[in-house]
Amino acid sequence: MKATTILIYALGLACSVFAKNADVKPEGEGTQESPYQFVQMENFVWLAHQRDKIDAGTTVYCIQTVDIDAAETDEWQNFPEIETNNINGENKGAWTLNYDGQGFNIENLCIGQTAGYYSALFALGSFQLKNINITGVKSKAPYGSTGILVGGMGAGYIDNCHIKGTCVRATAGLIQEVTVPQGDRVEISNCSVETDLTNAWAGVIELVRNYGTLVIRNTSYKGKITIGDEFGGDVISAGFVKALQLEEKHAKVIIEDCYSAAEIQCANSLLGISGFLGMINNANYGEVVDIEISRCYATGSISNTRPWGSASFLTVVYGCTPVIKDCYYNSTTLKKADKYALPKTEEEMKQLATFENWDFENVWDIDEGESMPYLISELPEPCGLFALLLLPLLLRRNRN
């Protein structure tokens, strides 16, 4: 009887610790020379608990050294909510997180929301993120108010990060909101999202508030985006980015070599749905802003019970004139009139000759007559000696 009582007590204690998301300090010192080595989700919890103890201006370095099974997050009462701008506690000021996933996977991640508006693996702040693979992701955040990789991002960059899932309740597939500080720069490159999203506004980013320079390169979305009846009305949604809000004169946006293959379903949208970009708004109307979108395309489909206002590539522009060059949309499936990109049939979209000034040696590839262009950065990344032998063969395929 006594042994049984002890066992029950031990199990209860274990469950209590588990429910509270026990933190585990990773090996390393958090410096560039000796980064923290992440091997389990409890390392993320530990880092989240350090946010008010890190001095302003500090960069904390982390690397992932193994695949991490995050299935336990499905039962967590509190998600890590990693924030680097110290909005709570001692308020020591903003610091930066540098996280290198080194190509390892984070599997079976379930994003919950218990504290702030921004919910994601990295919730809010300045991030330098690279080589992260998130697979099998899902979300329990209410109203889809979350990104998957980042909730709210200030300065920093995201490079070579890839997300795959089934059906995720999220505001956007990669980042919920980007706010670029004045005189600063945010760059997103070589990323992909391949998952269905429900109650979502965009495949990659919901909203950009730009006071500086934003660059998005070599990034893609594939999947279905569904917005329920409760989110009808004044909705703008898009396959790639919902809205670019330019808050400062001379703010700059560059989007190049990107695509969206989104099937979008929305109820009662009055403001419109777009296959690629929903809205560009210059908040300083009449001031000079620099927006250039080059070598991008949209395919997929748009379904809206109120079809007016929608467009196949870009829906609405206020207060500025974006420069859009060598951009296309699949007119076979996207039938809304669009004055910003060129319509091409599905057959034409599978022909290399259609895409003028596109780099099919270093950036893009195509299976002539079989597929639309896809990014070379989407190829799986082999490791070690095998990569040296195999990668040249992968890059040369379809050129014989």
Tokens of 74: 């499905």
* pLDDT score of 88 more than 80: no
Is 280 in contact with 318 (CB distance < 8 Å)?
Answer: yes
Highest mean predicted confidence (pLDDT) among 27-31, 194-198, 270-274, 306-310: 27-31
Handedness of CA 318, 321, 322, 327 (dihedral sign): positive
pLDDT reported for residue 385: 37
Strands (E), 94-238: 96-100, 105-107, 110-111, 122-130, 133-139, 150-159, 162-169, 175-180, 185-189, 192-198, 205-210, 213-217, 220-227, 236-238
* pLDDT score of 165 more than 70: yes
* Strand-pair partners of 99: 62, 129
Per-residue pLDDT averaged across 142-160, rounded?
A: 86
C-alpha–C-alpha distance, residues 62 and 30, integer Å = 6
* pLDDT score of 328 more than 90: yes
C-alpha–C-alpha distance, residues 209 and 212, integer Å = 9
pLDDT reported for residue 191: 97
Amino acid code (one letter) for 227: I
| φ, ψ (nearest 5 deg) of residue 216 | -125, 120
* Strand-pair partners of 269: 233
Judged by phi (left if over 0) then psi (alpha if -120 to 50, else beta), residue 57 lies in left
Of 45-49, 79-83, 175-179, 279-283, the poorest mean pLDDT is in 79-83
* pLDDT score of 8 more than 80: no
Is 203 in contact with 238 (CB distance < 8 Å)?
Answer: yes
pLDDT reported for residue 267: 66
Give the pTM.
Answer: 0.87
pLDDT reported for residue 87: 52
Tokens of 285: 């109307």
Average model confidence (pLDDT) for the chain? 83
Is 335 in contact with 325 (CB distance < 8 Å)?
Answer: no
3-state class (DSSP) for residue 280: strand
pLDDT reported for residue 315: 87
Per-residue pLDDT averaged across 294-318, rounded?
A: 85
C-alpha–C-alpha distance, residues 289 and 282, integer Å = 7
